[in-house]
Amino acid sequence: MQPSEPFSIALESILIVWDSGGICKANFYDRVEVMQTADKLVRDGSVLCPLCYGLMKLHGSYPRHCLDENCERHDGWVAQVYCAACDKYQSLTPVFLMPHKHYKTEVIGAVIADSEGGMNFENFGDHAADISTMRRWVRQFKVRGTRAVGWLVSTLLTAYELHIGSIELRCRTLLKQLTRLLHEYPALESGGILGRVSIILTTHNCGFL
Show the domain range for 190: 8-203
Assigned domain for 1 exists: no
Assigned domain for 189 exists: yes
Q: Which runs of E-coded beta strand occur in 84-170?
A: 88-94
Q: What tens digit of pLDDT does each residue of 20-67 get? A: 766 666 788 999 999 998 999 899 988 889 889 999 999 999 999 999
Assigned domain for 122 exists: yes
Question: Which pTM value belongs to this model?
Answer: 0.85
Q: What SS3 class is residue 103?
A: strand
Contacts of 27 (CB under 8 A, 6+ apart): 33, 34, 37
Assigned domain for 169 exists: yes
DSSP 102: S
Assigned domain for 2 exists: no
Assigned domain for 32 exists: yes
CA distance 62 to 39: 15
Q: What tens digit of pLDDT does each residue of 152-188 get? A: 999 998 888 888 888 888 889 999 999 999 999 887 7
Domain count, the chain: 1
Assigned domain for 3 exists: no
Q: Which amino acid is at 69?
A: E
Assigned domain for 188 exists: yes
